[in-house]
Amino acid sequence: MINKKDKMRWVKFDYNSLIWKTYNSIQIIWLWKKVWYHQWLLWKCLLCWKVRDFRAYEVLRWETRSCECINKKHKDIIWEKYWRLTIISEEPKRWWRRMVKAECECWKVITTYLQSLIDWHTKSCWCIFYDKMRAKRKYEDQLTRDMRIYTIWCDLQWRVKGRHSKKYYFDKWIKCKWKNFDEFYRDMKESYINHVAQYWEKNTTIDRIDCNWDYCKNNCRWATYKEQYLNRDCMKQP
């Protein structure tokens, strides 16, 4: 039999390990007091340098992220830089949250939430994403599995083997003749590059010429969303 005391036993959290740690815009500086079973902390806001006190679990659960100085109008944030974005001006609030207009290093101007800049959720006007994509295309052979053609291969496997599309593929005995991604990439690479150069990546999808046959080199092609929509079984019926 398990003793009730053993059931109720729990490991005490080491609050001393929290001292001088940073959580978002909060830096813990001291263990203040303990009221009942709640540990209270003294912490400093890194935005306005005010010292406040709060319960420890509210900081650890990220319920408290600052001393609410982010929502105060007198906070001077103009010309502050976050990654590639520099704040130019402040916009009207949206859903009780402060909005700012920021300029990127590539001279584009975007409007976003102030909190997303401080939390580093918004780092640029998508130019970081485009830089990564250019690097992937430059070193195509080494980073092939990060390209969109690999996601198309994964979606193809999900359609053929997944339960959600069982009546459209599995029940019709439609299979994938390629054994792995390397064979698929070797057969479809050149046509994929040519189609992307003409229609771009977002409008490049894999399509079966005969909808009632398997996925293979002779039966597959790269098509736009419109071409794929017109190549359905219901469109071919008289």
For residues 58 and 75, membership in a common domain is answered with no
> What pLDDT, on the 0 to 100 scale, is given for residue 215?
92
pLDDT tens profile 127-178:
888 777 776 665 555 455 557 888 888 888 888 877 667 778 877 888 889 9
Q: What is the pTM of this model?
A: 0.40
For residues 96 and 174, membership in a common domain is answered with no
Selection from 231, 222, 169, 232 nearest residue 199 by Cα:
222
Asked, for residue 202, whether it belongs to a domain, the answer is yes
For residues 102 and 143, membership in a common domain is answered with no
For residues 104 and 123, give the distance between their C-alpha atoms in angstroms, rounded to a whole number: 9
For residues 97 and 166, membership in a common domain is answered with no
Residues in contact with 54: Cβ distance below 8 Å, sequence separation at least 6, in sequence order: 40, 41, 43, 64
Q: How many residues does the chain have?
A: 238
For residues 135 and 128, give the distance between their C-alpha atoms in angstroms, rounded to a whole number: 11
Kindly report the backbone phi and psi dihedral angles of residue 116, in degrees, each rounded to the nearest multiple of 5, phi listed first.
Answer: -70, -30
Range of the domain at 202: 139-236
Residue that is last in its domain, among 62, 95, 112:
62
pLDDT tens profile 86-114:
998 888 888 777 888 999 988 899 999 88
Count of domains forming the chain: 3
